[in-house]
Amino acid sequence: MKKRVYAGLLMVGLASAVCLGQSPLDELRKKAEAALGEPKSGADYLSDDKVTSGLKEALRISTGKAVASTGRPDGFLKNEAIKILLPPKLQTAGRTMRLLGMSTQVDELEIGMNRAAEQATPQAKQIFLNALTRMNFSDARGILTGGDTAATDYFKRQSTQELATAFAPIVHQAMLRVGVVRQYNAVAQNPTVSRFSSSQNFNLDTYVVGKTLDGLFYELGLEEKRIRKDPAAQTTELLREVFGGRL
């Protein structure tokens, strides 16, 4: 009750200041708001539709950039954070082969795996857009108020299996075209390698598809963090309204 009386007196003072042309108006307004309690900010004032629309717009932008950055020549190969390396079971043998002057075989295998990933990732764009159509307000609010990669985690839950299914034939065909299977067999069957590892029961397609997904989601996470944290990445009014007020 006392807070309301105090706030009322402050509002009267504010009106008087306007009439008298006095200037500490912002200070009076702030004191009045403080007396009534802290005002809500950002996303708390936005409608459900606006929150959902703003988040979907952010995710269309971030997924588009992630797909574009990975689904191009050298998108994987020249990005040290996501570059696909030799399968773990061949890495020790690969180092030994390099020391013995067989670097070309190892390099060709790594290049081929990365080229296959770069050819597969453009398929993710439509799959991500499909996941957005399934997003409801509860999903959107949880993502908006969640951690730095809450949206990326949502896409992992919603899209991983569909992405893996879409990537598998593209990766397989791409690796056949650039000779990855032949290169892998040549490396795996090399006498130097056979002393270090066995290639039995190892599916190279599955390995490359899994690494392709890891790289794509890594880049998506980076794009999501930029939109949440960097005002320069909030490139539309709707993004600034939804993310600028909340984060």
Distances (CA, A) of 78 to 65, 73, 106: 17, 9, 16
pLDDT attached to residue 212: 97
Report the distance separating Cα 31 and Cα 155, nearest Å: 44
Residue 43 carries which DSSP code?
A: G
Q: Please report the DSSP string for 147-181 in residue order.
A: -TTHHHHHHHHHHHHHHHHHHHHHHHHHHHHTTHH
Tokens for 29, please give them: 């307004």
Q: What is the pLDDT along the chain (247 residues), one digit of tens a residue?
A: 544 444 444 444 434 444 444 444 344 334 434 444 444 444 455 667 777 887 888 888 889 999 999 999 999 999 999 999 988 877 766 777 777 677 777 788 889 999 999 999 999 999 999 999 998 888 888 888 888 899 999 999 999 999 999 999 999 998 888 777 777 766 666 666 555 455 556 788 999 999 999 999 999 999 988 877 776 666 666 666 766 654 3
Tokens for 182, please give them: 């032949």
pLDDT attached to residue 54: 76
Gyration radius of the chain over CA positions: 27
Tokens for 26, please give them: 């912002």
Distances (CA, A) of 83 to 27, 112, 115, 127, 173: 55, 11, 10, 23, 20
